[in-house]
Amino acid sequence: MKKLFLLGLLLLIQTEFALSQTATEDGDILVSSNVAKHAYILSLQDLSFGSLNESGSNTASGTIVIRCNYKSWAFKVYAEKGALTEWDAESSSYIPDGDTIPYTFTFNSASAVPEARIIAQPLPTTANEGLIATFSEKTKFGSNGEPFLYSVDVVGTGGGSFWTAGNYHDVLYVSVIVN
């Protein structure tokens, strides 16, 4: 009987031991997301020279505020005419065979990175030939965007240019592109 009692006690201890053990398993939870690439022109200014100095330099400048959340992006610019062209304000059209005044365009001239600036260049008139400044970091100042200076320069001639009196006009097309 003692043997039976010891066998029963041993079975009871093994059963209790088996029931008291718990199974554990470790796992990992992966949390992921993505943020789309964005590039915005938050603001820009039209330029006006007023009356041009026919024998000196003329500069009209403005600020464009750009916001881009990606490290590789570009600023691109081209023009409708590539020169200030005589403009009829009443008909909102260019004057056929009207006079033109050449100009150059500058963007982000203070940059120490040559690829990130455009210095005193004439503007092409097609998008695929547009001037490009490239950047290798996202813009500063978060959602407020980063300001960049730009200008258009007209240089008169020493003896005075002989531009036809009237209104002149051109349209610059700018875009911000995420690479």
Q: Where are the domains of the chain?
A: 39-178
Task: Give residue 156's pLDDT.
Answer: 83
Measuring CA to CA, which residue among 121, 29, 126, 117 is closest to residue 74? 117
Task: Give residue 55's pLDDT.
Answer: 84
Task: List the chain residues with pLDDT less than 70.
Answer: 1-21
Under CATH, to which class is 39-178 assigned?
Answer: mainly beta
The residues, ordered by sequence, that sit 6+ positions from 30 with a Cβ below 8 Å of its Cβ are none
Task: Give residue 103's pLDDT.
Answer: 96
